[in-house]
Amino acid sequence: MGSTADKVSGIANQAAGKVKQAAGKATGSRQMEAQGAAQEAKGRVQKAVGDAKAAVKAGANKAAKATGKQL
């Protein structure tokens, strides 16, 4: 996946996880609450991976530009 796709997936998983957690609290389902927390955590990791990929790409492009080469 590219950095943008990772970020979008991460944000979507975070949102879905928060909804599951809220639904779990509302219905008293600890299992659903735990699943929501896990999905939200997965989303945070995905977003962080996307951010890291974007930073690496930006750094590589900056270095390439400084040396006059294109990636």
Residue 67 has pLDDT above 80, yes or no: yes
Residue 2 has pLDDT above 90, yes or no: no
pLDDT of residue 69: 73
Nearest to 34 by CA among 48, 17, 46, 49: 17
Residue 18 has pLDDT above 70, yes or no: yes
Full residue range of the structural domain in which residue 24 is found: 3-67
Residue 70 has pLDDT above 70, yes or no: no
* CA 42 – CA 38 distance, rounded (Å): 6
Number of domains in the chain: 1
pLDDT grade for 71, boundaries at 50, 70 and 90: low
Nearest to 6 by CA among 48, 60, 37, 56: 48
Check if the beta carbon of residue 14 is closer than 8 Å to that of residue 44: yes
Give the pTM. 0.80
